[in-house]
Structure 1
Amino acid sequence: MKQALIIIDMQEIFFMGEENALYRRDALITHVEQWIEKARQKQVPIVFIQHTSYTAGEELYVDTPEWQICSRLSRTADDTVIRKTRWDAFYNTELLEWLDQHRIEQLIFAGAQTEFCMDTTIRAAYSLGYQANIVAADSHSTLDSNELTAQQIIQHHEHIWNGRFANLQSIDTAFPSA
């Protein structure tokens, strides 16, 4: 089954200061980078999804420092970057076309924020026929909300996703040794 690693909204806004600091952000970067390295070893294509605003003054306004993909992740010229303007990475983007062109059958998701763009995109992928997907273990995060801690949000969404919309897997399970 041909795979692609989809990294959602790993942008500088979450790593620049404390105001938008993701839960366990340093560990998140380490884990996502491990998935990137393993994907490269297995020749699995990598797609960075980049949330983009085209309205000056809004968060993640195009070409601002906080809009940039996290500089601590190793991105290469071979990686694909797809800009999105909504929580759903498929909505009005070229993601579905890219997946079709590359004959991708299984998506591996990592990134932020768990309850927003990750959740919306994972469910959209399932509805579009990608039904054997993987959520990269320890490789997505969010912020505390007024009602729940980030850890509670993550645990809740993993419980909902696992076995329904995607399977939570370790790197060794998703990329078994030959």
Structure 2
Amino acid sequence: MVMKTALVIIDVQKAMFQPQYDLYRGEEVLDTIDGLILKAREAGTPVIYIQHTEQGDPEFSMDKPTWEIHDKIKPLPTDIVIQKSTCDSFYKTGLQEALLERGIEKLVIAGMQTEFCVDTTVRSAFGKGYKVILVENAHSTFDNGILQAEQIIRHHNKVLASSIAALKPAEEIVF
């Protein structure tokens, strides 16, 4: 039996791509996510964008250009856009309802930031009974003063793949 799947893209907003922040492999990850979106659309798989929204925030307030989803992967009218205000894409949002309405059982997850919203959403989805695939080369973050972004990503890939999510490169994702 084939599980009904959705592609969930977390916080790929213009704020993440500002030059002063130096997102690790930013353009490469953006291209990878764009490729995933194209594959999902071709297969008729729902594409769900999660957009961090925080009123009064200098970058994530709705009235700021940096709040917008990156131009390279702009949603189509048929895509779902859900706004969140915490690291958990399910917490006080309509994500769970959108998934239930469509009979979704499996989530393919990509986006920003590895150790915050990606990690929390993967764990939350697992706790809600979804089969989760974390796309190992389609999420990113920034150096944090203690660890390099590459270390953070490798660490989270290993920890999440230990028992919470399947870990696959984008090239192996089939919708």
Pairwise TM-score range, normalised by the shorter structure: over 0.9
Give the match for residue 65 of structure 1: 65
- CA distance in structure 1 between the partners assigned to 2:44 and 2:173 by the alignment: 13
How much has 1:145 moved relative to structure 2?
0.5
**What do the CA deviations read for 1:147-173 (whole angstroms, capped 9, x no partner)?**
100000000000001141111113353
**What do the CA deviations read for 1:22-53 (whole angstroms, capped 9, x no partner)?**
10111011100010010011111000000001
Secondary structure class of the residue paired with 1:148: coil
Correspondence 1:86-105 to 2 at 5 A: 86-105=86-105
- CA distance in structure 2 between the partners assigned to 1:172 and 1:129 by the alignment: 25
Secondary structure class of the residue paired with 2:21: coil
8 Å CA contact 1:4–1:107 kept in 2: the answer is yes
Correspondence 1:53-132 to 2 at 5 A: 53-54=54-55, 56-130=56-130, 132=131
- CA distance in structure 2 between the partners assigned to 1:21 and 1:11 by the alignment: 14
- CA distance in structure 2 between the partners assigned to 1:91 and 1:135 by the alignment: 19
Letter in 1 for 2:19: E
8 Å CA contact 1:3–1:108 kept in 2: the answer is yes
Q: How many residues align?
A: 173
Change in Cα spacing, 1:57 to 1:115, as seen in structure 2 (3 Å) is closer
8 Å CA contact 2:113–2:139 kept in 1: the answer is yes
8 Å CA contact 2:9–2:109 kept in 1: the answer is yes
- CA distance in structure 2 between the partners assigned to 1:59 and 1:26 by the alignment: 20
Residue 138 of structure 2 corresponds to residue 139 of structure 1? yes
Letter in 2 for 1:69: I
- CA distance in structure 2 between the partners assigned to 1:38 and 1:70 by the alignment: 18
- CA distance in structure 2 between the partners assigned to 1:120 and 1:57 by the alignment: 21
Secondary structure class of the residue paired with 2:6: strand
Taking structure 2 as the reference length, the TM-score comes to: 0.94
User: Which protein has the bigger helix share?
Assistant: 2
Secondary structure class of the residue paired with 2:20: coil
8 Å CA contact 1:53–1:60 kept in 2: the answer is yes
Taking structure 1 as the reference length, the TM-score comes to: 0.93
Q: Which runs of 4+ in 1 moved over 2 A?
A: 56-59, 170-174
Letter in 2 for 1:27: E
